[in-house]
Amino acid sequence: MKKLNSQNNKIFRPSYLLLILLFAISSSSWAQESDKPGDATPLNLIVTEMSFQLDGQEKNAPITFQSGTTYDLHIKNEGKILHEVQFGRDPDMSSGLAHDYKVLLFANTEVVTVINDTEIVSPGMTEVVLKPGQEVHVLFTLEEANKGEWEVACFQPGHYEAGMHAPVIVN
Ligand SMILES: [Cu+2]
């Protein structure tokens, strides 16, 4: 019995946290655009060796986001090895191999990550790491200040150099 209760708590706590956060940021563009995550624009992003591919596009083709629009980005690792998904610009090459972006696209953005129906609110998402077959939903709204040219990449050692990156444009 006790075990069941503690599982219930784990499931419900993140949702409750989300409600509190929505209330707290009710003046932000995210709350104005969309009352609930269900209103978000869905996009499917397939991650594999060594590419990112949006539904209906070529591998590593540019990905465009509209500022002010709330997206539900469904990311799935269809590859055979672990991959990372990081949005940013200016990869740090100081150690020889590319290692994380110096500037992160979501540095000042509230991001909701949904894994197996559990919502995790993470201000300034750095990256998601996906084992083979794993999938997540990432919900976010970018602002006018985010407009410009960005990139999405995997920083598992050698993957960036093997071509695992794609341009990202925020309009
Ligand atoms: Cu990778």
If DSSP codes are grouped into helix, strand and coil, which group holds residue 29?
A: helix
The pLDDT tens digits along the chain (171 residues) read: 433 433 443 344 444 444 333 333 333 334 434 445 568 999 999 999 999 999 999 999 999 999 999 999 999 999 999 999 999 999 999 989 999 999 999 999 999 999 888 888 988 888 999 999 999 999 999 999 999 999 999 999 999 999 999 999 999
Write the DSSP assignment of 87-123 as a string of letters. EEEEE--TTSS--SEEEETTTTSEEEEEETTEEEEEE
pTM: 0.77
C-alpha 130 – ligand 1 centre gap (Å)? 9
Domains and CATH numbers, the chain: 2-170 (2.60.40.420)
Residue 70 Ramachandran class (φ > 0 left, ψ -120 to 50 alpha, else beta):
beta
Which residue shows structure tokens 């590419």? 51
C-alpha 111 – ligand 1 centre gap (Å)? 22
Enumerate residues with CB within 5 Å of ligand 1 (an ion): 83, 154, 156, 159, 164
